[in-house]
Amino acid sequence: MQPIQQRGMGLGGDLLMQRAGQGAFEQMLQRWPDARAVSVICGKGNNAGDGYILARLAHQFGLQVQLIAVNSPELLHGDARVAYRDFISAGGAVSPADQPIEHDLVVDALLGTGFRPPLRDSHLEIIQRMNASQAPVLALDLPSGVDPDTGAVARVDGTAVAVRASMTVTFVGRKIGLYTGAGKGFVGDLRILDLGISDSFKNAPSEATLLTWQHQRLPEIPSNAYKHQRGKVVVVGGDLGMGGAVIMAAEAALRCGAGLVSVVSREEHRTALLARIPEAMFIDPESIALQQALDTADCIVLGPGLGREAWGAKLFATAAAAAVPKVIDADGLYWLGNAEQNPSNDLFLTPHSGEAANLLGVDVAAIEADRLTCGLQLARNYGCSLVLKGPGSVVVTDKGIQICAHGGPAMATAGMGDVLSGVCAGLLAPMYAGNTSDQAHDQFAQAVALHSASADLVAATLGSHSVMATDVISGLPNLLSGKAQLDV
């Protein structure tokens, strides 16, 4: 992330800063039209310059303005120093850092894109005061305390600390830290202002791109298609007490287009499976039919409810040896981490941060500190495509790194990962059955987007508190058909 005046975009730094401050001020008035007073918290970089411009405009507009300078304005340089002088010339005044925050609307112009954890004590103290004020906060470019490149957030006594914004106005391009990791939870409503920068700069290649569900990328079903051509999925898992996991995965796979779905699980789950999904077939893991089913599958889902006992270990080893593309999730990832060699054929892994930490031999904090790098490392280690689940899920395929634009706190509930594994298999199996496996990695990424988009869709109706994993399955048809679309 380069400073604004060094981007080489054909516009002067002063003009870009003026546009940033003006744009943010306009967004503030739109969001809080009844505001009569505002406290602006400024640091010492270009982010502070944006804040001084917004403060000047607010003062000239007739609002009461309290500007708290956490760093002495004498430390400002270049365009930021000009913005400070313009604010003073317009009649503005600067308060020292120890002044109480007075107003019921706060602008965070403390730290910019140059921030990397940890927080300095002076920054920590003012961020804690901003959050404690309970006033709505407008963050400029990104909430202070969020790493723009990774989404990592400084932790103090085990707690993530950053400005908890009600709205963030970011400039020119999307910052990775606004979309993934702990940082995503501090952004609030997000607005992107291009500042008049040309598309050639805004769309320049970057380390990661934003992933959205696009139903038009789903291949058409041939008019002469038959069920085998649409792909055979085998779901493996469901130890005692965990039969729901394989049932949800199987239903999601069928709903997403798989022609045939079989479930390998404990005999105790047969009745529940067939009562819920009569379209699915049950295979006893002790049956001689198991090996043929595995060998002739177009995609195996390995892990939902598999458990960590001897039964699961044996079943994992058998399924992993099949020369068939695999989606590995849940306890399958535990056994993968203990396997002597990687399974053969195409692999698609779906770990959350804890599972990723186990596979890489690190702690969860290391994963959350740089989700993109950890996702890349996992993909290299296992020669696979993967999604590192969590806020702003990170998808790594042979096409690069993508961050899922859909999804939210409604997904933090049991069974979501099982549904995702089924969605992935449902989109992947037709690719391998139809000899179009070159499209498989793209469809894997789209499966991640579809799953999260469906969660958003049902959350809009049910509310975030009420969404269950099976509700996400019910939202899939409207997205698959294009009848429902989500704005990002």
pLDDT in tens, 314-332: 999 999 999 999 999 999 9
Helix axes 78-89, 13-31, angle to 10 degrees: 50
Rg of the chain over Cα atoms, rounded to whole angstroms, equals 26
Residue with tokens 């702990």: 182
4-206 with 215-481: one CATH topology?
Answer: no
**Predicted TM-score of the model (pTM):** 0.88
More confident residue, 221 or 273: 273
pLDDT exceeds 60 at position 3: no
pLDDT in tens, 33-62: 999 999 999 999 999 999 999 999 999 999
Q: Is 465 exposed, middle or buried (0-12, 13-18, 19+ CB in 10 A)?
A: exposed
pLDDT in tens, 74-131: 999 999 999 999 999 999 999 999 999 999 999 999 998 989 989 999 999 999 999 9
Concatenate the DSSP letters of all residues of 22-82 into one string: HHHHHHHHHH-TT--EEEEEE-SSHHHHHHHHHHHHHHHHT-EEEEEESS-GGG--HHHHH
CATH code of domain 4-206: 3.40.50.10260
How many other C-beta atoms can be found within 10 angstroms of the C-beta atom of residue 354? Answer: 13
Residues 235/253, Cβ–Cβ less than 8 Å: yes
- Residue 28 CA to residue 260 CA, distance in Å, equals 53
Across-strand partners of 302?
Answer: 236, 328
Percentage of residues of the chain with pLDDT beyond 90 = 84
pLDDT at res. 1: 31
- Residue 225 CA to residue 391 CA, distance in Å, equals 38
pLDDT exceeds 80 at position 428: yes
How many other C-beta atoms can be found within 10 angstroms of the C-beta atom of residue 387? Answer: 30
- Residue 385 CA to residue 400 CA, distance in Å, equals 10
Nearest Cα to Cα of residue 60 among 82, 85, 86: 86
Q: Where are the chain's structural domains? A: 4-206, 215-481
pLDDT at res. 11: 52
| Cis-peptide, bond into residue 391, ω within 30° of zero | no
pLDDT at res. 330: 97
**Structure token pair of residue 327:** 């989606």
- Residue 96 CA to residue 94 CA, distance in Å, equals 7
- Residue 177 CA to residue 312 CA, distance in Å, equals 38
Residues 394/401, Cβ–Cβ less than 8 Å: yes
Nearest Cα to Cα of residue 387 among 409, 365, 360, 355: 355
Exposed e or buried b for every residue in 196-233, given b needs 16+ CB within 10 A? ebeeeeeeeeeebbebbbebeebeeeeeeeeeebbbbb
CATH 3.40.1190.20 fits 215-481, yes or no: yes
Residues 181/153, Cβ–Cβ less than 8 Å: yes
The region, left, alpha or beta by phi > 0 then psi within -120 to 50, assigned to residue 422 is alpha
Mean pLDDT of the residues in the chain: 92
pLDDT band, residue 12 (cuts 50/70/90): low
pLDDT exceeds 80 at position 6: no
Whole-Å CA distances, 79 to 62, 161, 268, 339? 24, 29, 70, 57
Residues in the chain: 488
Q: Please report, in angstroms and rounded to a whole number, the separation of the first and last CA atoms in the chain.
A: 23
pLDDT in tens, 237-294: 999 999 999 999 999 999 999 999 999 999 999 999 999 999 999 999 999 999 999 9
- Residue 474 CA to residue 362 CA, distance in Å, equals 37
Residue with tokens 């940890």: 118
**Structure token pair of residue 139:** 């963050």
More confident residue, 488 or 222: 222
More confident residue, 225 or 29: 29
